[in-house]
Structure 1
Amino acid sequence: MFTGIVEELGEIVAAEESSDAARLTIRGPVVVSDAKHGDSIAVNGVCLTVVDVVDGNAFTTDVMGETLNRSSIGGLGVGARVNLERAAAVDSRLGGHIVQGHVDGTGTVLSRSPQDKWEVVRVSLPDRLARYVVEKGSITVDGISLTVSGLGAEPGQGDWFEVSLIPTTQELTTLGASPVGTVVNLEVDIIAKYVERLQQRGGDATQQ
């Protein structure tokens, strides 16, 4: 489990591709400072497992075909910057919200609107995920826990949501520099999905 609070900007320094998987080497001195084989690290919001720690400042991880196909990870190459976060410790503060690192779908940056001291970013929202997103609720974009500041739909554009980036988020995450057209990973609030499931089952949590 993660919180969506990015710890550092990492960089993909090597990529070995096969027919249905890839092994990535990602530089991130902060997140590997206490990492070991089998630990979980979120890479742009995708929960990946550490295979090896390399030279104390990078780690290797295997990415299966399912993840490559369902997230933006498959489109990243050597030199790409990525958001990194270690799994949450049980004794730490929950600075963002509950993030599983299981990508529900991808969206595309539609527009960026600079304001006085922040920036509003609009992202497309797949139709099947729109019902889980509410204004002032939480959503994870490339592993970043963000608050939804606006919702809407446009003819020919479909559903979209907006988030407002403070200077810290702009400076310390990939979303601060992602141009219009960038594909981003989305994870909706897990609580919304559980509520929907309970309603489908008649609200009886003990129902067999």
Structure 2
Amino acid sequence: MFTGIVEELGEVLGTESGPSSARLTVRGPVVTADARHGDSIAVNGVCLTITDQPAPDAFTADVMLETLERTTLGGLRPGDPVNLERAVPAGARLGGHVVQGHVDGVGRVVARTPGDRWETVRIEVPAALARYVAEKGSVAVDGTSLTVAAVHDDDPAGPSFSVGLIPTTLAATTLGRAAPGARVNLEVDVIAKYVERLLTAGGAS
């Protein structure tokens, strides 16, 4: 489990693509400081398992076809920055919200509006996920825990939502440089999905 509090901006060192999978190597001195084979690290919100450590400050992970189809990881190239977070140890402080690292879909940045010391970013959300996004609720965007400032269900271009990015988020995550058109990984609140499942499962016990 993760909390959506990005620990550092890592850098993609290399990618290897196969017919139905890929291998991703990332540099991240902070998240690898105590890393071991088999540990989980969220890369742009995607939970990956360390399979190799080619250097003391880097790790390699396998990326399966399901992940490549549901996330933006397949588009990463050497030199790209990525948000990194280690799994949360039991008993640690929950700084953001419950994030599983299981991306639900890919959204798209559609607009950025600068404020005094922050920015409002509007993100297009797939129609199938829009019902899980609620004003003042939580959403993970590229692994970053954010509070939904507004939802825009009546937009003719399709559903979207807005979030506010404080200076720390702008400086410490990839969202600070995500221009309109950029694709981002989205994970909606898992509690909303479970509530829906309970209400629609026919009351079986």
Identity between Structure 1 and Structure 2 (%): 61
* 3-state SS of 2:159 partner: strand
| TM-score between the two structures when normalised by the length of structure 2 | 0.97
Partner of 2:129: 129
Structure 2 unaligned segments of length 5 or more: list them.
Answer: none
Determine helix, strand or coil for the equivalent of 2:12. strand
Whole-angstrom CA distance in 1 between matches of 2:55 and 2:40? 18
TM-score normalised to structure 1 length = 0.96
Alpha-carbon distance in 2 for matches of 1:55, 1:105: 32
Out of 14-23 and 102-111, give the one that drifted further. 14-23
Higher mean Cα deviation, 135-144 or 192-201? Answer: 192-201
| CA distance in structure 1 between the aligned counterparts of 2:181 and 2:75, rounded to whole angstroms | 13
- 1:5-47: CA deviation from partner (whole Å, max 9, x where unpaired): 0000001011111111111110001001111111100000000
1:76, distance to aligned residue in structure 2 (A): 1.0
Q: Determine helix, strand or coil for the equivalent of 1:99.
A: coil
Any stretches of 5+ residues in structure 1 without a counterpart? none
CA distance in 1, matches of 2:135, 2:120: 14
Is structure 2 residue 200 aligned with structure 1 residue 197? no
User: Offset at 1:86?
Assistant: 0.3
CA RMSD in angstroms, aligned pairs only: 0.9
Query: Matched residues in 2 for 1:138 and 1:185: separation?
Result: 14
Q: 1:91 Cα deviation (Å)?
A: 1.8
Q: What secondary structure, in the 3-state scheme, does the structure 2 residue paired with 1:116 have?
A: coil
Structure 2 CA distance for aligned equivalents of residues 76 and 23 of structure 1: 11
> Shift of residue 52 of structure 1?
1.3
Q: Does 1:88 align with 2:88?
A: yes
Deviation at 1:201, TM superposition (A): 2.9
Moved >4 Å (runs of 4+): none
The aligned residue for residue 118 of structure 2 is 118
Distance 1:25 1:126 in 2: 29
User: How many aligned residue pairs are there?
Assistant: 204
